[in-house]
Structure 1
Amino acid sequence: MQVHAQRFYTAGPSDIAGLEAAVADGTIPPDRIVAIIGKTEGNGGTNDFTRELATVALAQLFARHTGETRAEIEDRVVLSFSGGTEGVTAPHMLVLWQSGEALAEPAADKRLAMAVGYTRAFSAAETGYSAMVEETARVVRELMAQARIEAPEDVHLVQVKGAIPAYAPEEADAAIAAGRPLRSDMVHSRGASALGVGVALGEVDAARVTDDAICRDWSLHSGVASTSAKPGLQRSEIVLFGNSRWWDGDLRIAHGVMQDIIDLPAIRGVLDALDLPCPDGQLAPESGDRLIGVFAKSDADYRHRIRGRRHTMITDDDISDMRYSRCVVAAQLAGVTGETAIYVSTRAEHHGPPGGGPVAMIARCA
């Protein structure tokens, strides 16, 4: 089995011309695509409809080439888009597909492996609570086994689109009356999903993940989770990436954890792990061409400090702190790699230490 990946730069949220051409000429088989992950130029908030525009355009593409309905496509392909391309970030999408069969014997070198799956449907009363953590952890473990990734340390990125099921007003009233208010929101969905990843991979002690700890105890976090959330989504969508000796191909993945949003050594550590050193400060073009995907989480530190010095990202009413932090992390990554097709998702509840967050990269082997 082999993972293939191709990046397309887009002229707008609904621009699928590059992928359409690749499907039409046979370069990319649409029935083998398992995930499309991208950045659109919206605000990244609840009312960011650029993500839906991209998803609709892709659903129409699949309908033309495979005859699948949108529901069938969403059962087979994870379409994960993050809004917000502030600063140097180039709107783009990374298309991932698979080919071949599993190796009969393990290879000498590990190569990129991936698996896609879904949680069961959640109720609004479960979202953001321990039930969501436990179900996310269950699916992550299943995907790890499905991808034949033998050790948790070989998992380097778990991309989650967290569920936020709709609820009726009377459901909210009943929950409040019972002393268990609904957490069917983006914050708690992201936080519970990230903790689920951490529990599955042994990064987080499951016994410490109580309902009260979710989005409160920031000492609990995952170094490989990258979760966002989608209002109206009934079940969470999960894409797991790692390295395995049971997969073929020329791609590998590595990750690190930024301690804050100016942690360049963490970024360089990921590049070193992929044999992409940059002694002159930025990757040489021939090395940069090997980079296929760059992913990170960002957040403005809620303590209003970076390395002891005050920042004003949260207190500046003119610009959202989400947009500030995305812009800073994307600029750091672009400056080192020379690549602006950077996937930076903001809000990092239980993603790395407060004010920091995971960073992962996929590259072709030398």
Structure 2
Amino acid sequence: MSVEEEEKQPEECLFSSYRFNVRLVQSKLVLGAQHHRTKQVYRTEIDQDAVSNITQGICDKCEQLFDLLQDLIDNEGKTKTASLQLVDEQNKLIFNVTLIIVFGQTSREFPMKLELETVELDDVTRLESIINDQTEQIEQLQLSPHDRFDRALKLISLAKEDFHFRNVSSSDPAALSDNDRTMRCPTFKRHEHHDLANHTLSFGITKSTQMIETSTGKQAIVTTNQGFFPKTKRYQLVRFELHFSGPINERDTFLVGVVSEPDTKEWSASQPPAGSWIFDVCSGSIQYPSGDTRPYTCSLRKLNKIRYVDILLDTQHNRVAFRLDDLTEDQWAFCLPKQIQIEQLFPFILLNTMNLSVSIAQNE
């Protein structure tokens, strides 16, 4: 390894050595970082008036700079349009941000520099931080993916007596039953007239008309009447039981997920609302608020029938996972924005199939 490579290596792994905290406080952006091993804390505050100078006029509001930094932190310092490099200098932690803007066929880099000052902590505070961090790491090592779900089910469940579905689609509301704890698509009956030709020995061919009744279903969207609980319990789970009356075909839709402050009157399967994180049960893929998708787990079409779908929320790190029956992926589906309010996060279901109804599982 060359001297140049040796100098670059510590900087490359520096990002994972810190825990970051980005907050909007009134008209200020508060940026903090804590070193995992030494527990050294760094902090800075950025006023609204300083944002434009720091970002060379690219951002003129704290909210815009907040979104940029949060996106870089959530993606370990690198996105398609920006990168973040950390420099540790004695009593400072420097954020070197590079934003790439494309103009037609050319691109230009805009550098930004944020300096975080060292915050002095007393020995007791530092010791408490070390103990809490070590306890959390041990807990994570002890919990397998199945343990996380099982523990969540034992600790807390959203499915209490007053927990039920509510319609959020005004045009074609879901059919609710079982004290609004079971939902299915609205069904409409249609009568069609069919002309039939009958062959007889004496009269040759006779014609008659037969009326046939068919049923069609439409898309239904529901959320629960309550959001997740505030951070009193780390893991929280809601379970949906599935009841099949026939096979699921290629045109059927079954989405499960979480949505922030739901207002889905204009929601369609192809255009979910902003602030929704979606698991497509039929295909086994997940969909981000941006519309991007990626494979996540087994699909309902491959498994044919399943008994239940679980949503698991880690309120400490704002992470969401899903499970079909006992098939648990060793990965979180989504890392939600740090600023999201847990109590304003609601489970939801979008259903467009006549062969399936969904119930909120009762507590055992």
Shared fold, TM over 0.5: no
Report which of the two structures shows the higher radius of gyration computed on alpha carbons.
Answer: 2
Structure with the largest fraction of strand? 2
Larger RCO of the pair (alpha carbons < 8 Å, separation 6+): 1
TM-score (norm 1): 0.19
| Greater share of residues in helix | 1
- TM score, norm. by length of structure 2: 0.19
